Amino acid sequence: MKSNSFTVEIDGIDKEILRDLMSDARKPILQIANKIGISGAAIHQRLRKLEQSGVISGSKFTVNNKILGYNTMAFVGIYLDKAARNPETVRELKKIPEVLECHYTTGNWSILIKIICKDNEHLMQLLNTKIQAIEGVSRTETFISLDQQIDRQIQL
C-alpha cells in the first residue's frame, strides 16, 4: 500500500480482502486468508493499515427501512436566502432524524438532503414543520424516489 498526500494505492491482496468484506462484512478473516493464501494475522495487519490510511472506517449493519414502516424516500433541494446560513442550517438538519444525508452542492440549491418518511403525509409534515421552518430556508424542491435501482460502493 502506497500513499501520497491525496490518494492511497492498494495492491491486489488489499483489493481482494476489501472485495470479500464489501460483499459480506461478516465473512470470517480465516476464510478470506485461506482463499487468498496468506495468514489470518497478515489479513488483520493489512486491515489495520487500511484503517489507519483512511481507506476503510467502521462497520455497520444495513436496516431495511420499509420493514420498519418507512416507505417514502425523498430528495429535497434546499434554497437558502444567504449562502452564509449553510452551517447553521446543517446544524438544524442534523436534529431531524429522518435526514439521512446532507450535501453542499453546486447549481440551484445550496443543500441537497436525502430523507426517509413513513408516507407522503409524514413527508409533508416534515417539510412544513421542520425543514421549511429553519431560519434562512427560503424554499425547497422535493423529488420522491419511486424505487432505488442501484445501491453500491465503488468497485475495486
Domains of the chain plus CATH, in order, are 2-52 (1.10.10.10), 72-145 (3.30.70.920)
Work out the burial of residue 89: count CB atoms within 10 Å of its CB; fewer than 13 is exposed, 13-18 middle, 19 or more buried: buried
Which regions of the chain are under pLDDT 50?
none
* pLDDT at residue 119, rounded to an integer: 97
* pLDDT at residue 2, rounded to an integer: 58
* pLDDT at residue 9, rounded to an integer: 86
What is this structure's pTM?
0.82
* Set of cell numbers at residue 155: 468497485
Spatial separation of the C-alpha atoms in residues 46 and 50, rounded to whole Å: 6
